Amino acid sequence: NAGVTQTPKFRVLKTGQSMTLLCAQDMNHEYMYWYRQDPGMGLRLIHYSVGEGTTAKGEVPDGYNVSRLKKQNFLLGLESAAPSQTSVYFCASSDGLAASQYFGPGTRLTVL
């Protein structure tokens, strides 16, 4: 039982490049979330999903897109990376309401 996993762990991009971050969970959770963590800003919600095939915007959705084609996977895409998107990205899942979220190990992204 791996819980929540994220791929990749680290990535360096140049401005304008695109990439996709993958989050996978094996707990059969309905809810999945993408956050970014920045110094002094705490955790901010980017997008979330309340079930397969659904997505919704969080607090800071601009510049990101997401997809939840399979219940166990939640993808976060950056179409044209910007230096302001340099951050640590965390994925999380939960089995119902927003309570008791289980977090992945994080992806450290640097955009040059």
Partner 1 sequence: AQRVTQPEKLLSVFKGAPVELKCNYSYSGSPELFWYVQYSRQRLQLLLRHISRESIKGFTADLNKGETSFHLKKPFAQEEDSAMYYCALVNQAGTALIFGKGTTLSVSS
User: Which of residues 55 and 85 has its CB atom nearest to partner 1 in the complex?
Assistant: 55
* From 23, 60, 66, 92, residue interacting with partner 1 (rule: CB under 8 A): 92
Contact residues for 39 (Cβ-Cβ < 8 A; gap 6+): none
* From 45, 52, 61, 95, residue interacting with partner 1 (rule: CB under 8 A): 45
CA-nearest of 84, 90, 86, 26 to 58 is: 90
Number of residues that bind partner 1 (CB under 8 A): 26
Distance between CA atoms of 53 and 51, rounded to whole angstroms? 6
* From 41, 53, 84, 112, residue interacting with partner 1 (rule: CB under 8 A): 41
User: Which of residues 56 and 82 has its CB atom nearest to partner 1 in the complex?
Assistant: 56
Q: How many CB atoms lie within 10 A of CB 1?
A: 4
